Chains A and B, each alone.
Chain A
Amino acid sequence: MQPRVTAVLVARNGAKYLPRTLAAIAAQSRRPDSVIVVDAESSDESLALMADSAPAQIADAHAHKTFGGAIGAALYTAAPQATENEWLWLLAHDSAPDPNALRALLGAVEIAPSVAVAGPKLVRWDDPAVISNFGETLTPLGRSVGLVNDELDQAQHDVQTDAMGVAGAGMLVRRQVWTALGGFDPKLTSVDAALDFCIRARLAGHRVVAVADARVASSGGPELFGKRTISAAAHNRVQRFAQLHRRLVYAPAIAVPLHWLTLLPLAILRSLGHLIAKRPTAIAGEFAAAFAAIFDGGVVAARRNLRRNKKLGFAAVDPLRMSWAELREMRAHERHGAAPDAAFEVERPKFFGNGGAWVVLLAGILGMISFSRFVDAHALIGGGLLPLSTTVSELWAHVGYGWNDLAQQVVAADPFAAVLAALGALTFWNPSFSIVMLYLLALPLAALAAWLCAAAISERTWAPTLAAVAWTVAPSFLVALGEGQLGAVLAHILLPWLILTALRAAHNWAMAALAALLFAVITASAPSLIPALVIGLVAWIVLRPKSTHRLIWIVLPAAALFAPLVIQQWGRGALLAIFADPGLPVARVASSGWQLAIGSVVPGTNGWSELLATLGLNDRYGPLLVALLLAPFAALALMSLFVPGTRRAVPALALALLGFATAVAATHLTVSASGESEVTVWAGAGLSLYWLGLSGAVIVAIDSLGRHAALPAVVALVGILGISAAPLWSLASGNVPVTTSNGRLLPAFVAAESTQRDGLGTLQLTVTSDSTIAVDLHRGRGSGLDEQSTLAATSTELSDAELVNATLAGNIASRSGYAIANELNDLQVAFIVLTPATDPETSETRQRIIEALDGNSLLNPIGDTAQGYLWHYPELREAEIPVGASNTETRWGQIVLAGQATVFGLTLLLAIPTTRRRRLKAAKAESAVTVIEANQ
């Protein structure tokens, strides 16, 4: 008997495609016996177009927006099945069949009565030579996979017939089977709906074939039905939900609860996987799908439907599954097909071939000479440096939100504390040693960073070398090393890496994550750079708007680190205080504008004035000499604007301007204090950014000069090295504040007693000027660099605890009738130490304090130590140490730690580099899916 074919054409906003589709149906060599057109809530003239084709039936599938749902609704109202041999030909508005498509499909089903479903070969709407879908199957884990995806049709797949499933568009299905199986699963709205139907058909004992001769043009996958585009996140969600739904439906009843319980854990695990695979946008979809599956009410109905029709076990369809070996082979094909051609390869300077290694080696030697005093040091002290806490656990106890001895309250720790904790953990046996290592390696590390960054934007051999030398001996860097400004040192070493990674972050998640980590470390180390770096990042986002999501991630870890501090400073009404330099505050004289312009962080032109004075010359010529030496470098930088390559020169010089503005602003910002001295923000970090911009501009100039570059480069190099002579001399001769330390913050006697009892207090008195003292209350071995708090240093009002300390200190330093013993017992203070004199003007006040403490019968003078005069209070009545909650003991502390750990953990996962194939695949998974436009 002649089969009867009813074509069901479903349209949803497909007016652009319908004319071709309707014409193609009309032009069939074997025309369908009747055509039912279904409008699935179109908002355009789809219905009118279809009505014009004079179909047998027009159905308005109101409230059905999906392909399967619209078909079901149409058939519900259609004429009942006339003959047993009736077939449905399912078409979407964008399914334009070849003239002999239906004939070929019918041919395939007629020769094999067991075939209930036949699918055509779907080809691209705009290019019929490319197969977009031809048969679908499952991986061993149950994920659906197309057998052929976007392959050029060279008849290579034409032998294939039996398939696990076929696409829904263009599917020819026996109406009897369709009705028996209940059509598409209503829960599978697009993806996998046809595959699921085919699997159920196969389990019911029917066959599914893919017919190579039947070609149907298609503008996109089923998920695009009625849509112009679908975001990557939504696409991932739909696919994942379809897989989970099918898993719950297909699984043996006994395994369903198990599967159900693993939905959420799996989602978490897979999310981490997405991060490692650089698909962070898939995470939202992953969880949305998991939750949809957890509350999937359609599983029961679908399982019942499956069981009712099931005649065969899953073993019957297993041979059609894709095996692991086939999967690997298919991926290999994809990799091969995706290999980009290498026509755009750029010749970049080679690290080992073009002087990079030499520059780093020389910088290493220079560093060893400059810091030879530190080779056998255990810790450094002086300037802004202090030893770190003695154990790694103490280091980590000082991050987050918890009690701080110096602030005398529970405060948000400086973000720098986290940097120090990570740094100290590198040398876990002696955390302070990590700073010594950093000093010894600082110059080569800076050289390496600068060379690689410069090499990435330059083509000439000379340019990276010049940039690396200029960066390594940058005055702001050398002075920061000498003055112990650890934050500025770290920022200087890491800034080139940040630039390098931020430039690449626009297209690379791993780079964005790396840049985010670097951004966090740099801003934590030198908060004064935050405005400049954020402005730079915003500019970069404006230039690369498509990469906004990756570039925004760069600020996330830093934001997580700074959030508690910002909130607390805001609460105090001192938002500017977040720019205070972390670490030990040291009062210094700020440079003026022109001094900053010649790279001088502190007056004295980076040691030149002193060097000239030592040589018996007039030190007033120091600035002039430095300006002259800097002139060739500056001239090259400005010249970059006049030569080709302005697109690199302008951002570089803009960065330099930002850096200069940062440095100038820093000298006008005084937010923290050391005792009575007000501490101006360190301008060196801003100057490093300024120097970075200048170096970048010089690279552009050198690049454009081509073979004439040698002479100007050498002149600039000599000038830069000349400038660095004085600061390097200061470093090498030890004429700088930073010096070696035994790692002790308080006298050895205190350290020994503290091992007996933890948390013993030491009142540290420092005479800052006549009749003026600063007082700090230390616990245990003393407050190291990691325990410094800008919240303590920038406070402008005394807390109650500070008032108590001040009263105690003022009275203990005097002949007084104050009840000192009670106060010492309450505070659990067992020691008083008077720091060594630095200013002879204070000797009278010191003498008075020494006499008062010596004359106090409660106190036992221990004597003069390297850390100052020490007195012991032997009658201390043991009580609970009056300190607040640590960083893990409060709810807020836990939230802060957990939040920061989460952000950093995710960023770290994202920063793990992946293979090129995975990266390309991830890039594909990250992009939205779009239909092929109808009108070409």
Chain B
Amino acid sequence: MSKVILEAKNLSKYFYDPVKFQVLKEMNFSVNKGELVAVIGKSGCGKSTLLYILSTMDTDYEGDVWIDGISTRGKKEGELARVRNEKIGFVFQFHYLLNEFSVLKNVMLPGLKLGKYPEHEVEQRAYDKLKILGIENEALKKPNQLSGGEKQRVAIARSLINDPLIIMGDEPTGNLDKMNSENVFHIFQELAEVYNQSLLIVTHDTEFASRSSRIIEIEDGKIIKM
């Protein structure tokens, strides 16, 4: 068994509006290095909520999340931002690229924020990531000049820029047509197999899920299959 990257311990979460309601119930699971894990479940079962807790963006929960062997519980906002920056890459349903910047700059931003490499090196790395995704020719365009599938690939490149421990995806293929979804899946698969990248992808797409290395199925805030 390879190294544990992400671990959820007794994770519970309540919504208080309009009435107190337990969304997540005592969840325990972990993600290992190089794994492509798909989280599936019906709408409203809490899978996105789970993702945002795991990603450190939502801090209002019970239990604990361990990332890279370190508990994130009780950390300050700035420290959590640093964790997200360094260790987590995000791909959302919507691409969330900044139209003010070129594609290349969009990919570079988290890298520049990390400040581990000088600017020209970050730029080179951003190019390399775009190359992995086959869109290096669009590097100097603005995001609004790209197609939906291309935008999503830029978003994936952006998630890779700091060589994160884990990539988290919230319905990354939800907005894409069949062909582009296929593309994105292949990219994820390649990342997991070739680059030994861990991925945790929340999805509706059962076909997508069936081809991943592991499925976590959630129903009513509980893990029913793992």
Partners in one complex: no
**Chain A residues in the interface with B (C-beta under 8 A):** none
